[in-house]
Amino acid sequence: MTRAAITFDAGALIALERRKERAMKVYTHARDRGFLVATPNVTVAEWWRGRSDRREAVWRGLLVEPTSDEVVRLAGIALGKVRTATTIDAIVAVFAVQRTGIVYTSDVDDFQALAGFFPALRVFGI
């Protein structure tokens, strides 16, 4: 059985990479309680801006998973209903809902709009 995972979007990954206090606390708290910190692989395209030691360290602490056909189809449906959503945010929302429903983001308003479509999505600012 897979361990439970909380989801970080690109903004949360940037905050973690920059060692922002809240991001570090959330990450440490989750790991200490047996949660994985996960992100869909498409999020990496928004976050990764070349190799650095710190970026590699963050990468090693993540569960990065490919997006499934089901995830991208559901994200597409969400995009049709939530006109302000971006493609990657919709994918991250579906990805999170398929795990614990918890997403950490620097774009709370964007994900709150998606939470109107995905009631199981719980959005927390990083």
- Spell out the domain ranges in the chain: 5-125
Q: Contact at 8 Å (CB) between 34 and 3?
A: yes
Span 42-77, pLDDT tens digits? 999 999 999 999 999 999 999 999 999 999 999 999
> What secondary structure does DSSP assign to 27-92, as a single string?
HHHHHHTT-EEEEEHHHHHHH--S--HHHHHHHHTSEEEPPPHHHHHHHHHHHHH-TT--HHHHHH
- CA–CA separation, 62 and 65 (whole Å): 9
Compute the C-alpha angle 16/105/64, nearest 5°: 65
The model's pLDDT over 85-98, given as tens digits with 9 standing for 90+, comes to 999 999 999 999 99
* pTM (two decimals): 0.94
CATH homologous superfamily of 5-125: 5'-nuclease (3.40.50.1010)
